[in-house]
Amino acid sequence: MQSSATNHYRTVVSSSNEKESALGEKLNGYTVKQRLREEVESPFRKVRLAFFAFSSASAFVALYFSALVALKANIGGYSDVPPLEEALVQVAINTGGALGFGALAVREVKVGQGNLERIAKGGLLARLVVEPAAEVLGKRTLKEYRRASRVVIAAGGAEYIRRLAMSLCSDQLADENILPAALANVDVVIVPVLLDEDCKVVETKSAWRSAKPGDNDRNFDSSRADEVIAFPTVLAMWQEYIDSDIETAKGQGFDVLSKGITITVKKNGRILRRATGLPPFGDMIGMMEVADGSLFGMPGDSERYGGP
């Protein structure tokens, strides 16, 4: 009896693994699972695409015949053709239909492709691995932070990472630095990502720990913000994820190394914002609970933040 139950369990597990493997198979750069998700998000896209493509093809066929009629009308001598003006009107209508429906079909393809890219990048984001500065927690994927924390990825050169470390781990002039505790109170986790001169992701932890304070930085201790800091690991995956954001920032004229880029991820795993510069800690502390709290589709936050 026990052997039968064991065999049944193994069969179920094997079937489940086979399904996962099938869903993970890639076709033209995207997995079956990602394509299915895109269809779920836009269930009528294929219907619209088929309608627009068929309409465009029909209009092209009609254009062909109306162009022949117009040519006959222009040559003259045919009794079975309408006046040239009417024939040209038909040509114009069919041309507009062919181009218009064709443009709508192309738009549907581009929107679908954009959705697939977003879904694929979101899946990669969830798989990124970090090592919390409080090492007792062990390595975690960003997916494990969902519903519990908002993750802020801050990437830049060595000086940018130094300034980020100073902002979180030292006192500025007469001010007492309470940022780490305040960020922890609104469930924010900061992931500093160090980029070398070629904008390649390199090991960040040692640069963070060895950061040197400036003239206005007092009481620097790199461990002061450990409760809200996590360092990137498996750097190849981080490079793959952040490459497109780096290229976008460069294309907009930003110096990624000195200015830095930030990517703020909501509790539900969606991107809240992409920006340049140091993270706006003041805005995060004052507004983050509103940005993705219970009032914005995150049930379960009600006990902490209020709301339905």
Per-residue pLDDT of 97-125, as tens digits, reads 999 999 999 999 888 887 777 777 778 88
Compute the distance between CA of residue 275 and CA of residue 180 in angstroms, rounded to an integer: 21
**Which amino acid, 43?**
P
Say yes or no to pLDDT of 43 above 90. Answer: no
The reported pLDDT for the residue numbered 173 is: 67
For residue 307, the model assigns a pLDDT of 44
DSSP structural state of residue 229:
B
Query: May I ask the CATH class of domain 132-296?
Result: alpha beta
For a pLDDT cut of 70, what percent of the chain falls above it?
A: 81
For the stretch 125-146, pLDDT in tens is 889 999 999 876 688 999 999 8
Identify the residue with better confidence: 288 or 99.
99
Please, are residues 74 and 116 in contact by the beta-carbon 8 Å criterion? no
- Note the pTM of the prediction, 2 decimals: 0.68
**What six digits make up the tokens of 10?**
């193994």
Greatest alpha-carbon span in the chain: 97
How is residue 136 annotated by DSSP? G
pLDDT band at 289 (very low <50, low <70, confident <90, very high): low
Query: Contact at 8 Å (CB) between 281 and 178?
Result: no
pLDDT category of residue 202 using cuts at 50, 70 and 90: very high
pLDDT exceeds 70 at position 290:
no
CA distance 186 to 183: 5
pLDDT at 8: 47
Amino acid identity of residue 138, one-letter, is G
pLDDT interval class at 25 (50, 70, 90) = low
Give residue 284's pLDDT.
78
d(CA 44, CA 42): 6
Q: Which residue did the predictor score with more confidence, 32 or 71?
A: 71
User: At a CB cut-off of 8 Å and minimum separation 6, what does 229 contact?
Assistant: 132, 133, 168, 189, 190, 191, 192, 208
Q: Residues 167-177: what's their mean pLDDT? A: 81
Specify the pLDDT at position 118. 74
The predicted structure's pLDDT at residue 215: 82
Contact 134, 89 (CB under 8 A): no
Q: What is the mean pLDDT of the chain?
A: 82
Lowest-confidence segment of 3-17, 47-61, 159-173 by average pLDDT: 3-17
Measure the CA–CA gap between 195 and 156, rounded to whole angstroms: 5
Check if the beta carbon of residue 229 is closer than 8 Å to that of residue 135: no
CA atoms within 13 A on the CB side of 251: 6
C-alpha triplet 292, 294, 300: angle, nearest 5°: 115
Does residue 153 contact residue 265 with C-beta atoms inside 8 Å?
A: yes
Nearest to 166 by CA among 212, 207, 203, 227: 212
